[in-house]
Structure 1
Amino acid sequence: MKYEKLCKQIIDLVGGKENIDAVVHCMTRLRFTLKDQELANSNKEAIKDIPEVIDVVSNKVSFQIIIGTEVSQIHPELLTLLGMKETEEVKVKKNVFKAILDLLSESISPILPAMMAVGLMAGVLAIFVATGLLKDTSPTYIIFNSIKDGLFYFLPIFMAVSASKRLGAPLYLGILLAGTLLTTSINGVENLSLFGLSLPTITYSNTFIPILLGLWFMGKVNQVVSKFMPKSLDYFFSPVILIGITLPVTLFLFGPIGTWISDGLTIGVEFLTGTFGSWIVVALYAACQPFLIMLGAGNFVIPLVLSAFTSQGYEEIFVVAWTISDLAVSGAMLGYFLRAKDQKQKQLFGSVAFSAFMGITEPAIYGAFLKYRRPFFAVMIGGGLGGLFAGLMHVKAYAMTNLFGIVSFIGNNDQNNFYFMIIALVIGFIVSLVAGYLLWLPKTEVQSEKVIAEVESKSTLNKVTIAAPISGEIKPLEEIKDDAFSSGALGKGLGILPKEKVVKSPIKGKVASLFPTNHAIGIVSEDGVEVLLHIGIDTVDLKGEHFRALVEQGAEVALGDPLIEVDFDQVIAAGYDPTVIMIVTNTQDYLEVLPNLTNDQPEGNELITVIM
């Protein structure tokens, strides 16, 4: 097993096999349903430290470990170690709205390749017609164009295949229900009645909501029937009972409800475009999509998109916007790649830029955007301008696609629509690239090396260097989850996510203060530099538990002398952030205090330079 070590690490850190109810995956992340999520939350930082892990997102619904596109290879091995099957369902109480969005997203995902194939085929046919290689009345054109009709007309059957298991309905009975609704005896038939009662005229093709409601109801009926039906009779009678109950209820109840919801979604789209103008909505969504992905709310537009496709044959807001936004993310990261000098940074920015270009933006958002923040503004500028142009030109998407389905924007031989989309993509990409290049990293990171180099070249200036008190991952002060430190109000400095247990003296000097809880210690150097080491965030609440002082207040210490021993595993287990914060409390007394944020393993290195 190629990923056995990684899988075992993850299992241990989320609380062990016994804490895992289920685990599924999307394109970039593992989604865990846990009995006690706090066990995993306490190890979030340890999970993030795993080289293959990009980030961790925890919410009330699931615990998510973001890995990247290799997750599809990791997931089967993880299930093998857990002794679980691929089809195991997640049993968890969810927010109803969130559960509906998750269902739609998970049901649409398997159909996306077919939708992209339809879009690409439509684009290729449009090119052939435009170049005179085919006529739109030729049998060849008609046959290949039928692929689109095949997908959208039989959309209920596609949804039945992808959603039946998730809703607890037997697969082939779900398909049977969808196929029955599409027969010429029911689909769009007027004056239809059942049991002497009139049925509303409903067109079930090109829609997906009635079948989803029907499958949900079938799943509930299946649960009840399975409890009372003897095993010896189950094979023969359960299918008849399920379809015999579900079909009438779907015709009388879910058909009309689904139609109302579909109409409501259509009205919602028309309201957005008619009230605010489609150009505003496209621009805003293209600018803000990375924020929505970060918040886990990127799927809320799926019902609107599907409703638009099924009702009018195209969609002119969200598919256009997310395609532009994905390329804008790639452009922003390419701008960072061109600006970076550090090879490790170049590798990061280059890889996530390529991933975003391929339509997968999570690695960039969680691996770079959250850390540096300024790329968000680059995408807001570039994506917003690209979306604005597309909205003003009323660009339409004729298929649910991404950059690689760009030819689908030709649609019904609408070449101008295609050209406008290309221009919008170029605007989004180029402007984001330039914005990313110009915005670059926060000044503290960029200026540190420059000022230090200037100091070293001028003998008239003196400097004091402060070493690392502990090995670990460096964090800019702005990222510390404590306003008193992150604001710089207490002085300049940085944070270190520790990888060992002993905090050592970063300078030669005297222990000026040692808090009774041993979670913080102050040292004054021979030059008068006051250094505060604060171990963890809010760890004062632990009242000294897991902290052991190795020196006394007033003691003289040399560089590297042990100061405090900390059981960081227990600190994390207690739910506290273990970050060791080091600041110069009398920053205002010096010309400059410059954190060195380029070292990933800072032990023994010059971590802060104080310009006297």
Structure 2
Amino acid sequence: MKYKEFNKKIIELVGGKGNIQSVVHCMTRLRFTLKDRSKAKTDELKALDGVVDVVSNNVAYQVIVGTHVNEVHAELISMLDLKNAEGDDMPKEKKHPLKAMLDLVSEIMTPVIEPIIASGLLAGFLSLFTITGILSEEGSTFLLLNSIREAVFYFLPILIAMSCAKRLKASPYLAVALAATLVSTSINGVEGLSIFGISLPQTTYANSFIPIILAVWFMGKLTVFLQKRIPQFLQYFLNPVLIMVICLPVTLLFFGPIGIWIGDGIGWFFELLNNTFGSWIVVMLYAALQPFLIMLGAGNFMMPLSLNFLNKLGYDPIFLGAATISDIAVSGAMLGYFFKAKEMKQKQLFGTVSFSALMGVTEPAIYGAFIKFRRPFIAVIIGGGLGGLFAGFMKVKTYSMVWGLMGLPSYAQNQDFSNLIFMVASVVIAFIGAAIAAYILGIPSEEKSKDTVAAPGGDSKPLNKKVIFSSAAEGEAVQLENIKDQAFSTGALGKGIGIIPSSNEVVSPLEGEVTVVFPTKHAIGLKTDSGIEVLIHIGVDTVELEGKYFETVVKEGDRVVPGQLLSKVDFSGIIEAGYDPTIIVIVANTPDYLDVIPTASGAVTKDCEIFTVIV
């Protein structure tokens, strides 16, 4: 329970367990449904270590905690009695329709993003490889790799069913079974079908998402209905078959056609918009305003629309391209601030979040800089708007479900090289336009001193500060990949460095607290006041020695300073016993930081720098 105390404070500040009706999450935010929002102490919540910001409006009550939100949410759910909170006996809050839709879309789409991104990027690289002649479209390698992309979208209803079943109170396995039935060769796109003598319209369920969402929603309602009316001892046998036998005909007769009509309606609306005003205005507006949508928690709303376009047209003429242009504009705005800033800490901040946005992750920039300085929003409106305007006029098409710089090769899909050129020109316009605008607008002087934010896990620390650690022993530094222990050599437990000791003393590399001393004395955990967790593992597989050859001189809770003795170790005895004496020093919470960079090589002394943590 890494975030137990953090979640306790959140529960308290949103009005207690009794005030929480439900809580979901998206990429960076906890989205609460509160019975009485006036009970929430929003200002105190914003000031809580680990909370980046709180967005409270008519759409949602959102607590932004960062990209580790899934871990926070998992522990939060385990601490809340959500069964009672969502039970039929509890008064239901009448949700704002837009809020209910955003909650549902966010919850459904977030788990599905992973395979979608994988398939989209793969499509981009395959396009690049075929253009350069590395692969042939008729070759076996291309066909096998391309099958990943095709499978993800063909079986999209199955992924959607799995994602939304729990949210809609349906059995995930029955939902997946229903989706698999719909995309089977017996039903998908087959003409002349009928059920109970009623003719069925020809419907293609592969690549679709609206019919299965409607079907799973109905399945959830039917499940609750049957649980109340079927005797308990018969439910295990009867409910599954009744659910499937009822849901399939209803889906084929109603939800399939309705879902297709909704998809066609969305397409018709944007076609009308395109014929009346031109799609350029939508591309321009979305590219200019996407950061505001991300702040509102509505960043995922475009995904179903994009999926619908890809399904109906084979490409997205609006949203995916506009999202990429907007991300690049955010990167450009932060680069403009990078050149404008005079303070090194600010330069580090703006440079880091600029690169992150370039790779398609804009939350660090939006919550770390945009909200504080405000003016970058204007820069993105200018740069993103100009880039989106150009892309709209040039009718840029996005052929794969992908966004960000890494997805650019996919714009040449189907040998559409002019489309790629126009897209590259659009992102260049957005990047340069936003960078120039941000540089001219400048950094508000009253904001320059604000250079700290809350860190993941609940500790507050300076943005992008370099924290340098000294050696834990005298000896010779070795890189982790050379350690004869797969868990450490692969970096699975965190980044760091190894030391082949030349003396029998192991000392502290930092100022902080001893958080753990293993009973076998072969490992010691330390933590800085800013929250960096360091593990010192003395020897490889030395846990088997059960404390022999180790004399630890500190205990849990002790304060230590760099160079302070932690343990005396008989390394010659360890070697004679057949064990590797290498001391491994790693940052256990490496994912919480931008990077951990080893800086030592060769001989080291106790006061040598061994690695740097970029906060």
TM-score, normalised on structure 1? Answer: 0.67
Structure 1: which amino acid aligns with 2:420?
Answer: F
The Cα offsets for residues 313-366 of structure 1, whole Å up to 9 and x where unpaired, read as 111211000111012112212322332234554455445434433433344334
Amino acid aligned to 2:6 = L
Q: Is the Cα contact below 8 Å between 1:305 and 1:319 reproduced in 2?
A: yes
Aligned to 2:497: none
Give yes or no for the alignment of 1:35 onto 2:14.
no
* 2:188 counterpart residue number: 187
Unmatched runs of 5 consecutive residues or more in structure 2: 449-615
Query: Which residue number in structure 1 is paired with residue 154 of structure 2?
Result: 153
The offset of 1:223, in angstroms, is 0.7
**Per-residue CA distance 1:232-285 (angstroms, 9 max, x = gap):** 111110011111111111111112211211111111222232222223321221
| Contact 1:115-1:399 at 8 Å conserved across structures | no
Pair 82,203 (structure 1): closer, same or farther in 2 beyond 3 Å: closer
> Residues 196 and 214 of structure 1: is their aligned pair in 2 closer, same or farther, counting only changes over 3 Å?
same
Whole-Å Cα distance in 2 between the matches of residues 61 and 438 of structure 1?
34
Deviation at residue 53 of structure 1 after TM alignment: 2.0
Matched with 2:138 is: 137
Length, aligned pairs only: 443
Alignment-mate amino acid for residue 106 of structure 1: E
> Within 2, Cα distance between the matches of 1:63 and 1:83?
20
1:303 paired residue number = 304
Question: C-alpha distance in 2, partners of 1:288/1:52?
Answer: 27
Give distance in 1, aligned partners of 2:334 and 2:381. Answer: 13
2:175 — aligned with what? 174
CA distance in 1, matches of 2:211, 2:342: 56
Q: 1:29 to 1:313 in 2, by over 3 A?
A: same
Contact 2:124 2:400 in 1 (8 A): no
Larger Cα Rg: Structure 1 or Structure 2? 1
Partner in structure 2 of residue 329 of structure 1: 330
Letter in 2 for 1:67: V
Return the offset for 1:210: 1.3
2:313 corresponding residue in structure 1 = 312
- Is the Cα contact below 8 Å between 1:269 and 1:304 reproduced in 2? no
Instruction: Write the letter of the residue equivalent to 1:52.
Output: G
Contact 2:27 2:110 in 1 (8 A): no
1:497 aligns with: none
- Shift in alpha-carbon separation, 1:444–1:229, aligned structure 2, 3 A: closer
Residue matched to 2:209? 208
Q: What is the alpha-carbon distance in structure 1 between the residues aligned to residue 186 and residue 20 of structure 2?
A: 48
> What does residue 407 of structure 1 align with?
409
Shift of 1:73: 3.1
Determine helix, strand or coil for the equivalent of 1:187: coil
Determine the structure 1 residue equivalent to 2:501: none
- Find the aligned partners of 1:223 and 1:88 in 2 and give their Cα distance: 13
Residues 387, 3 of structure 1: alpha-carbon distance in 2 compared, 3 angstrom cutoff: same
* Letter of the 1:13 counterpart: L
**Is residue 61–residue 93 contact of structure 1 (8 Å, CA) maintained in 2?**
no
Alpha-carbon offset, residue 217 of structure 1? 0.9
* Counterpart amino acid of residue 16 in structure 2: G
Provide the residue aligned with 1:455 in structure 2.
none
Q: Which residue of 2 aligns with 1:438?
A: 440
CA contact (8 A) 1:30 1:71 kept: yes
Q: Helix, strand or coil: the match of 2:206? A: coil
Partner of 2:268: 267
Q: 1:77 aligns with which of 51, 57, 75?
A: 75
Is the contact made by 2:411 and 2:423 (CA closer than 8 Å) also made in structure 1? yes
Q: Alpha carbons of 1:443 and 1:140: their partners in 2 closer, same or farther (altered >3 Å)?
A: closer
Describe the shift of the 1:73–1:191 C-alpha distance in structure 2 as closer, same or farther (beyond 3 A).
closer
Q: 1:176 to 1:373 in 2, by over 3 A?
A: same
Q: Which deviations, in whole Å up to 9, do the C-alpha atoms of 1:506-527 show, x marking residues without a partner?
A: xxxxxxxxxxxxxxxxxxxxxx
Conserved in 1, the CA contact under 8 Å of 2:25 and 2:107? no
Partner of 1:25: 25
Taking structure 1 as reference, are residues 397 and 80 closer, same or farther at Cα in structure 2, changes over 3 Å only?
A: same
**Does the aligned pair in 1 maintain the 2:193–2:201 contact within 8 Å?**
yes
Q: In the alignment, which residue of structure 2 is the partner of 1:47?
A: 45
Give the residue type in structure 1 aligned to 2:15.
G
CA contact (8 A) 1:192 1:198 kept: yes
Secondary structure in structure 2 of the residue aligned to 1:120: helix
The SS at the match of 1:168 is coil
User: In 2, Cα distance between the equivalents of 1:444 and 1:106?
Assistant: 38
CA distance 1:104–1:4, shift in 2 (3 Å): closer
The amino acid of 2:62's aligned partner reads Q
**CA distance in 2 between partners of 1:426 and 1:412 (Å):** 23
Q: Could you say which residue in structure 2 is the equivalent of 1:12?
A: 12
The match for 2:242 is 241
Distance in 2, Cα, partners of 1:81 & 1:196: 51
Counterpart pick for 1:424 among 417, 420, 426: 426
CA distance in 2, matches of 1:72, 1:309: 29
What SS does the corresponding residue of 2:278 show, helix, strand or coil?
helix
Please state how far the C-alpha of 1:48 moved relative to its aligned partner: 1.5
Query: Would the aligned equivalents of 1:382 and 1:427 in 2 still touch at CA under 8 Å?
Result: yes
Opposite residue 388 of structure 1, the aligned amino acid is L
In the other structure, the counterpart of 2:129 is 128
Q: How far apart in 1 are the matches of 2:4 and 2:197?
A: 62
Q: Is 2:115 the partner of 1:117?
A: no
Report the Cα distance in structure 2 between the residues aligned to 1:422 and 1:373, rounded to whole angstroms.
27
**Matching residue of 2:609:** none
Q: CA deviation at 1:98?
A: 3.5
2:316 alignment partner, SS class: coil
Q: How does 1:470-481 map to 2 (within 5 A)?
A: none
Residues 502-581 of structure 1: pairs in structure 2 closer than 5 A: none
1:431-459 Cα shifts (integer Å, max 9, x gaps): 2112111101347779xxxxxxxxxxxxx
Whether contact under 8 Å (1:217, 1:246) holds in the other structure is yes
| Fraction of identical pairs, as percent | 56
Q: Aligned letter for 1:304?
A: L
TM-score by length of 2: 0.67
* Amino acid of the structure 1 residue aligned with 2:253: F
2:599: which partner in 1? Answer: none
Per-residue deviation, residues 555-579 of structure 1 (Å, max 9, x unmatched): xxxxxxxxxxxxxxxxxxxxxxxxx
Structure-1 separation of matches of 2:185 and 2:315: 26
SS of residue in 2 equivalent to 1:56: strand
Cα offsets for 1:410-439 (capped at 9, x unmatched): 322333323332232222112211211110
For 1:50 and 1:402, the matched residues in 2 are separated by 33
| RMSD value, Cα | 2.6
Partner deviation per Cα, 1:166-217 (whole Å, 9 max, x = no partner):
1111111111211222222222222222111222121222211111111111
Contact 1:332 1:379 in 2 (8 A): yes
Deviation, 1:28, is 1.1
CA separation in 2, counterparts of 1:410 and 1:49?
47
**CA–CA distance in 2 between the matches of 1:311 and 1:220?**
30
Q: CA deviation at 1:103?
A: 1.9
Structure 2 residue matching 1:65: 3-state secondary structure = strand
CA distance in 1, matches of 2:64, 2:356: 14
The 1-side partners of 2:54 and 2:323 are apart by: 23
- Give 1:302-381 correspondences, 5 Å limit: 302-342=303-343, 345-346=346-347, 348-381=349-382
**Residues 67-101 of structure 1: per-residue CA shift (max 9 Å, x gap):** 2223233333334444669x989974323344234
Give the Cα separation in 1 of the matches to 2:410 and 2:333: 25
Q: Compared with structure 1, are the counterparts of its residues 177 and 128 closer, same or farther at alpha carbon in structure 2 (3 Å cutoff)? A: same
